[in-house]
Amino acid sequence: MKVLVTVKRVVDYNVNVRVLSDNTGVDLNNVKMSINPFDEIAIEEAVRLKEAGKVEEVVVVSVGASNCQEQIRTALALGADRGILVESDAEMQPLAIAKCLKAVVDNEAPGLVITGKQAIDGDNSQTGQMLAALAGLGQATFASEVELGDDTVTVTREVDGGLETIAVKLPAIITTDLRLNEPRYASLPNIMKAKKKPIDITTPADLGVDVAPRITTLKVTPPAERQAGVIVESVEELFDKLKNEAKVIS
C-alpha cells in the first residue's frame, strides 16, 4: 500500500509572529519556517505504518513556492521515500490546495492519505475535508489512534463528547490530532540520505487546476494586549472584586 502525506510550510511555532506595519499580512522576513506540527504527526504515523510492514511506500506532497522543498527534505529525512512539490507562487487557499492534492491523488492512487487536521497559520481545518469531498473518499478527522486493516482503517476520533471510533473503507483520508503520536527527530545520517531522495516538481497548470484565490484578506491585526492581573490578599477581597468590579457574580 502507498500512503500520501501532506506537508505545509509555516512559521515555526516557537516564533513570535509579527504583523506588517501596513496590516496586509504577517512579517516573514528572516523568520524560521518549519513543517506544520500536525503534518509532522501525519508523517510520523505514515512512517510507523511502514515500519510495521503495513505500508510499502510513503510519498510526501506539498503545495506552495519552491522553498517548500526544504520542508519536503525534512519529511524525507523523517522516513518518507519520495516527495512531490506542486509549485506555485500564488496565494494558496484551502480549496486550491485540495484541488491540487486531488489531482495528485488521481495520479498516485494511494491507499491512504494522511494530513494534519489544520495548519497553525490559517487555522482553517478545511483541506482534508475538501480533499475527501473532491476525491469522493471516506474520511476520518481528528484521529488520535489509527489501526490499518486490509480493506478498512479503524480510527479513534477526538470529539466534543470524548472519543468516537469509526471504520472507514480504503482508500480514505485521515486528518491527525495532537495526541496521535510523538514525532521523531531526524538523525544526521537520515538527513544526508534525504538529499538523494527524489522530489518531483509539477505546477497547478500541469495538473489542470485553477488556484485563483476565492477569498480576499482585507486586514490583519495582532490580538489585543491582555491587561495585567491583580493579586488579591484574601478570598473576601476576591469575591468583592468579582461582585463589585467585574460584576460576574451577585
CA distance 227 to 248: 18
pLDDT of residue 25: 87
Q: How many CA atoms lie within 13 A of 171 on its CB side?
A: 21
Backbone angles phi, psi at 9, to 5 degrees: -85, 120
pLDDT of residue 250: 75
Measure Cα distances from 112 to 5, 67, 154, 165, 193 in Å: 9, 26, 12, 18, 25
Is the model more confident about 173 or about 26? 173
Q: Where are the beta strands (DSSP E) in the chain?
A: 2-6, 9-11, 33-35, 57-64, 82-87, 112-116, 138-148, 152-159, 162-169, 172-176, 199-202
> Is residue 34's pLDDT more than 90?
yes
What are the structural domains of the chain?
2-245 (3.40.50.620)
**Helix or strand or coil: residue 213?**
coil
156-191 pLDDT, tens digit per residue, is 998 888 899 999 999 999 999 999 999 999 999 999
pLDDT of residue 86: 97
Nearest to 167 by CA among 147, 142, 184: 147
pLDDT of residue 28: 87
92-141 pLDDT, tens digit per residue, is 999 999 999 999 999 999 999 999 999 999 899 999 999 999 999 999 99
- Other Cβ atoms within 10 Å of 21 Cβ, number: 7
Cell of 230: 491583580
pLDDT of residue 58: 97
pLDDT of residue 248: 87
How far out from the chain centre does Cα 112 lie?
16
pLDDT of residue 223: 85
Is the model more confident about 250 or about 26? 26
Band of pLDDT at residue 10, cut at 50, 70 and 90: very high
**Helix or strand or coil: residue 188?**
helix
CA distance 75 to 141: 22
188-246 pLDDT, tens digit per residue, is 999 999 999 999 999 999 999 999 988 888 999 988 888 888 898 999 999 898 988 88
Backbone angles phi, psi at 59, to 5 degrees: -115, 130
Nearest to 10 by CA among 104, 123, 99, 168: 123
**Cell numbers 480510527 correspond to what residue?**
155
Band of pLDDT at residue 26, cut at 50, 70 and 90: confident
Which amino acid belongs to residue 242?
A: L
Q: In this structure, is the dihedral angle defined by the CA atoms of residues 190, 192, 195 and 196, taken in order, positive or negative? A: negative
pTM as predicted = 0.86
pLDDT of residue 211: 92
56-97 pLDDT, tens digit per residue, is 999 999 999 999 999 999 999 999 999 999 999 988 999 999
